[in-house]
Amino acid sequence: MSEEAQLKALRNRIDAIDEKVLELISERARCAQVVAEVKQKTLAEGEQPVFYRPEREAQVLKRIMELNKGPLDNEEVARLFREIMSACLALEEPLRVAYLGPEGTFTQAAALKHFGHSVKSLPMAAIDEIFREVAAGAVHFGVVPVENSTEGAINHTLDSFLEHDLVICGEVELRIHHHLLVGENTRVDKISRVYSHAQSLAQCRKWLDAHYPNIERVAVASNADAARRVQSEWNSAAIAGDMACELYGLTRIAEKIEDRPDNSTRFLIIGNQEVPPTGDDKTSVIVSMSNRPGALHHLLQPFHDNGVDLTRIETRPSRSGKWTYVFFIDFLGHQHDPLVKDALEKIRDESVGLKILGSYPKAVL
């Protein structure tokens, strides 16, 4: 068979497969529509239907990854199903999700990675604004950065949890790749200034020291803001990621310039709905302790006694007294798991205050 004839036959096969795939996706979407009707029918008096079910979404994605036999790898297959579910959910209820803007930030990338592209993502100017929009019910969910593997905690986010009563309903992790970007009019040999968010400048500190030791480093509100600025300046560059590069039509003159190749940021999904257990969950709490000897030891003992794995502990000033602190603690397990529940009860007895921020499925993608 000639190459042309072979290609024709294969493309006919692909067309036939696509027809079947489309039929099945449509059948799945109709099923989701019926799910929405059922959710609306079974409501108690005054209860609002809950369309978005993060625990179910995590189960669907995990199952697909377990079933996958290749040749597409697990992440690729999960991403495809992520988008199918996102479109199905949009038929039930189009979600509004606030993120730290402007458009093109890593937080927007995280929002789309977690919810898929069928949500309406709305840029906010500050982390606190995201919390306020979610608390006011103006959006269904918010996405906020909480920690970076190179630079540590995002304190604005931690402090906002002290001021608002919102629930963490998910987490998403994003590999952060930074590039050095220039605009159409930039004279590459005359760059005298680089814009980026302070965290990103810090994440590329050594690279800048080695390659551009003498240029001015200017911290701006976001990487996307940095990208927007270089469009109109001939002597500036920006450090930002792929989304901002695409959005502002810039060119990468150096790629993946982050000092640590595993540079990642963890984001949290904040909302108003508690999430049931999936069997593979995390819980986040804030604990305040009185300032006495051994306080931290007393706080951690119940976790140790009950075999609960801590994944992170962060300290912040409590804002209610000089030299008093609160601890942000993340651990594996769900607040309804018996051993976790027991540990939390003991901690409640020992502490000045315990606030459970939420239990949520561990990031799948």
Closest approach, Cβ 48 to ligand PRE, in A, equals 15
Closest approach, Cβ 95 to ligand PRE, in A, equals 9
Annotation says 328 is catalytic: no
Residue 60 interacts with ligand PRE (CB under 6 A): yes or no: yes
Closest approach, Cβ 108 to ligand PRE, in A, equals 20
Instruction: Say if CB 325 and CB 318 are below 8 A apart.
Output: yes
* R_g over Cα of the chain: 24
Task: Tell me which residue of 124, 131, 139 sits closest to 156, measured CA to CA.
Answer: 131
Complex with ligand PRE: residue 24 or 210, whichever CB lies closer:
24
Complex with ligand PRE: residue 118 or 264, whichever CB lies closer:
118
Q: CA-to-CA distance for 34 and 11, rounded, in angstroms?
A: 35
Please choose, out of 84-92, 135-143, 181-189, 301-309, the segment that lies near ligand PRE by the rule CB under 6 A: 84-92
Residue 57 interacts with ligand PRE (CB under 6 A): yes or no: yes
Q: CA-to-CA distance for 355 and 284, rounded, in angstroms?
A: 9
| Selected catalytic residue, list 265, 278, 283, 328 | 265
Residue 92 interacts with ligand PRE (CB under 6 A): yes or no: yes
Residue 221 interacts with ligand PRE (CB under 6 A): yes or no: no
Closest approach, Cβ 337 to ligand PRE, in A, equals 22
Residue 172 interacts with ligand PRE (CB under 6 A): yes or no: no
Q: Count residues contacting ligand PRE (CB under 6 A)?
A: 12
Range 13-52, binding ligand PRE (CB under 6 A): 32, 35, 51-52
Residue 65 interacts with ligand PRE (CB under 6 A): yes or no: no
Closest approach, Cβ 275 to ligand PRE, in A, equals 11
Among 88, 119, 154, 243, binds ligand PRE (CB under 6 A): 88
**Overall residue count recorded for the chain in this entry:** 365
User: Counting runs of H as helices and runs of E as strands, what totals does the chain give?
Assistant: 12, 15
Q: CA-to-CA distance for 190 and 308, rounded, in angstroms?
A: 55
Task: Tell me which residue of 212, 211, 228, 231 sits closest to 220, measured CA to CA.
Answer: 228
In terms of C-beta density within 10 A (0-12 exposed, 13-18 middle, 19 or more buried), how is residue 161 classed? buried
Annotation says 265 is catalytic: yes
Please choose, out of 83-91, 183-191, 251-259, 263-271, the segment that lies near ligand PRE by the rule CB under 6 A: 83-91
Segments of 129-201 assigned E as strands: 141-148, 152-153, 167-175, 179-182, 193-196
Complex with ligand PRE: residue 50 or 126, whichever CB lies closer:
50
Q: CA-to-CA distance for 95 and 276, rounded, in angstroms?
A: 20
Q: CA-to-CA distance for 29 and 313, rounded, in angstroms?
A: 41
Residue 365 interacts with ligand PRE (CB under 6 A): yes or no: no
Residue 89 interacts with ligand PRE (CB under 6 A): yes or no: yes
Residue type for position 217: R
Residue 141 interacts with ligand PRE (CB under 6 A): yes or no: no
Q: CA-to-CA distance for 326 and 41, rounded, in angstroms?
A: 43
Query: Which residue in the block uniquely carries the two structure tokens 């969950």?
Result: 281
Task: Tell me which residue of 57, 39, 125 sits closest to 365, measured CA to CA.
Answer: 57
Residue nearest ligand PRE, Cβ-based: 88
Closest approach, Cβ 361 to ligand PRE, in A, equals 12
| Selected catalytic residue, list 267, 327, 328, 331 | 267
Please choose, out of 82-90, 214-222, 245-253, 338-346, the segment that lies near ligand PRE by the rule CB under 6 A: 82-90
Distances (CA, A) of 225 to 125, 191, 239, 256, 263: 11, 18, 10, 19, 21
Complex with ligand PRE: residue 52 or 360, whichever CB lies closer:
52
Residues tagged active-site: 265, 267
Which spans of this chain sit near ligand PRE (rule: CB under 6 A)? Answer: 32, 35, 51-53, 56-57, 60, 85, 88-89, 92
